[in-house]
C-alpha cells in the first residue's frame, strides 16, 4: 500500500491498530500522543528541545532526554552509552551514496530497504519536530535524501526529505524537515529545489505529497512563485502552462494555482492566458523573498531509482 492509500483508509476507518478502542478511549489515546514524551535530544554538538510526541519503543518513554549518534542515528538513554557507542561506530556520514557535494554541503541517498534501522531511526527523530507526520515502520518503500554539512569530523545531518520509490500520484517528496539548529538558513528551500532537480533528471513532473501543512504550503508557494516568475520575466514570447511544466518539472495544477493566487491568469476565449506585466512580476518576486541556497546541478551525480541494478 502506498502512503496515500493508507491515509485514505485511515481517514475512513478508526486508526489502524486501535480498532478495539471505543470513542472515549480513542480520544484518550489521541490526547496522550499529543503530549511530548521526550523533552530533549542530544545530536552531535547540539542539545535540542523537542516539539511533538514521537512513538519511541515503550522502554524509552521514561527518558526526559535521548542521546543520538549523529551518524547512524541510534539512540540511547544515557550519555555514557553514547560515548561507548561512538568508540565503536565507524560511520562518519549517512549510510548511503553521496549524490551531491558542493563546498561543505553534501547530499546522501539512503534506501530504506537496504538501511532499514537507519530509516526507522530517522522517522522517530523527525516525528519529534513534525506535527502532521504519520510514522511508518515500513521504510522499504522510501528513499531518504539527507543533507549534511561536512567538516574534518564527518558529515553532520542538517535536514532531509523522503520520497516514495514508486508514486502513482507523481509525488516527488513525502516528508521534509530541517533540524531546529539549522533552520532559517535557506536549507528548506534548498531541499525543495533539490527534489525538483531529481524530478527533472527522471524526466517527470513532481508535486509534494498532500496534505501540506500551512508552513509547507507557504514554502512551496514561495518556491513555485520564484521559479515561474523568473522564467516569465526572461520569456518574451507566448508560453503555455504545459511548457512551463516541462521546463520546471512543476505539476501543471501547481503552476495554475500559483499564478491564479498572484492574479496572473485571465480566462479569455475559452482558455487560460498568462498576463506577465514586468512591474507586477517584480513586485511578486520581491514579496516571495529570496530563494535560499542554490542547487549546482553540475555537482549532482545520480541515477534514478528504477535504473539502479
Q: How many residues does the chain have?
A: 309
Catalytic machinery residues: 209
Please answer whether residues 262 and 272 qualify as being in contact, where contact means their C-beta atoms are separated by less than 8 angstroms: no
Give dist(CA 118, CA 20) in Å, integer: 32
Amino acid at each position: 500500500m502506498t502512503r496515500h492509500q493508507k491515509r485514505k483508509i485511515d481517514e475512513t476507518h478508526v486508526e489502524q491498530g486501535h480498532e478495539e478502542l471505543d470513542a472515549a478511549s480513542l480520544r484518550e489515546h489521541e490526547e496522550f500522543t499529543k503530549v511530548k514524551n521526550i523533552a530533549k535530544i542530544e545530536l552531535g554538538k547540539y542539545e535540542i528541545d523537542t516539539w511533538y510526541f514521537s512513538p519511541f519503543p515503550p522502554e524509552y518513554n521514561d527518558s526526559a532526554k535521548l542521546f543520538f549518534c549523529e551518524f547512524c542515528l541510534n539512540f540511547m538513554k544515557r550519555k555514557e552509552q553514547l560515548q561507548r557507542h561512538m568508540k565503536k561506530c565507524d560511520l562518519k556520514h549517512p549510510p548511503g551514496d553521496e549524490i551531491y557535494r558542493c563546498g561543505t554541503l553534501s547530499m546522501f541517498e539512503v534506501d530504506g530497504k537496504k538501511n532499514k534501522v537507519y530509516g526507522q531511526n530517522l522517522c522517530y527523530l523527525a516525528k519529534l519536530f513534525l506535527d502532521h507526520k504519520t510514522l511508518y515502520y515500513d521504510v522499504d518503500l522510501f528513499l531518504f535524501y539527507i543533507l549534511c554539512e561536512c567538516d574534518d569530523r564527518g558529515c553532520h545531518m542538517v535536514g532531509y526529505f523522503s520520497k516514495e520509490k514508486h508514486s502513482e500520484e507523481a509525488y516527488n517528496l513525502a516528508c521534509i524537515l530541517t533540524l531546529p539548529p539549522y533552520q532559517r538558513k535557506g536549507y528548506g528551500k534548498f531541499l525543495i529545489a533539490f527534489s525538483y532537480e531529481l524530478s527533472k533528471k527522471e524526466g517527470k513532473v513532481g508535486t509534494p505529497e498532500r496534505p501540506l501543512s500551512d508552513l509547507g504550503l507557504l514554502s512551496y508557494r514561495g518556491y513555485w512563485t520564484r521559479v515561474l516568475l523568473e522564467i516569465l520575466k526572461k520569456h518574451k514570447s507566448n508560453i503555455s502552462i504545459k511548457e512551463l511544466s516541462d521546463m520546471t518539472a512543476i505539476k501543471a495544477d501547481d503552476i495554475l494555482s500559483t499564478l491564479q493566487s498572484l492574479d496572473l491568469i485571465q480566462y479569455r476565449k475559452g482558455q487560460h492566458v498568462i498576463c506577465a506585466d514586468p512591474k507586477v512580476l517584480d513586485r511578486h518576486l520581491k514579496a516571495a523573498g529570496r530563494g535560499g541556497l542554490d542547487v549546482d546541478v553540475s555537482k549532482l551525480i545520480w541515477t534514478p531509482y528504477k535504473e539502479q541494478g
